[in-house]
Every structure is written in C-alpha cells, then in structure tokens.
Amino acid sequence: MKKILFVVLTTIFLLAAAWFAFIYYVPYSKGTRAGELIKFSSKGVIFKTWEGEISQGISGAQIFSFSVLDQEEEAIEALNKYQGQYVKVEYIERFGTFSFWGDTKYFITNVVPEQSPHFNRQ
C-alpha cells in the first residue's frame, strides 16, 4: 500500500512540475504593441503582481492588458517612468498563468518610449 501511495504522489508531483515548466518555458507567441500607457500598478492581497494597460485606440476602446514579472526590474522602472506617455512594449504570451505571476497571459519584457502617431501628422 505504501508503494502505491508513493507512486501516485510521485506521478502527481511530476505532472505538476511538467505543467509548470511548460507554462514557464514554452511561449505561445512573442510580439510588440504600442499605445498610451494608461495604467500601471502593483496589486494583490496575498500575491503582489504588476499589472498595466495600454490604450491602442483613439477613443480608448482598444485596451491591451498585461502583467510584468518581478524579475523584469528594468521594465517595471520604465513603465513607472513613462506613465501617461506613448510607449512600445515587447511581450511574451504564455499558454496560461499562475496567481503569483499576474492576471493576464501577456508578460512584458522590454519598454521603450515612442512618438505618438496622432501628433505631428502632415
């Protein structure tokens, strides 16, 4: 009976570890998005995560929500600095997420300021 219990628990642990590794190491897609950074904050009760939103439309109808992992310190500093400005973000989309990572499947890896296309049109 102990051997069966050990095999079952080991199998469950290995499956959980494989799922975690798959979510963490296998990206679904990579890309860039640009827009006005309208929200960026640290939120949560038990797990504090960094969450933000970029407005990609003139009326704000097209919102891109994203998360930032704590290890991306440069991206966090840049997002705090460029609040309310037009930015371009590079992201990785994952198959899923965990509550201690963030609310979305989109994780920002780099942030650069951009010139808004709505200004200086001739």
Domains of the chain with CATH codes: 27-113 (2.40.50.140)
- Residue 48 pLDDT greater than 60, yes or no: yes
The H or E element spanning position 44 is none
For residues 18 and 86, give the distance between their C-alpha atoms in angstroms, rounded to a whole number. 39
- Residue 7 pLDDT greater than 90, yes or no: yes
74 exposure class (CB count in 10 Å sphere: 0-12, 13-18, 19+)? exposed
- To the nearest whole number, what is the mean pLDDT of the chain? 89
Across residues 48-54, what is the average pLDDT?
93
Q: Is the pTM of this model over 0.85?
A: no
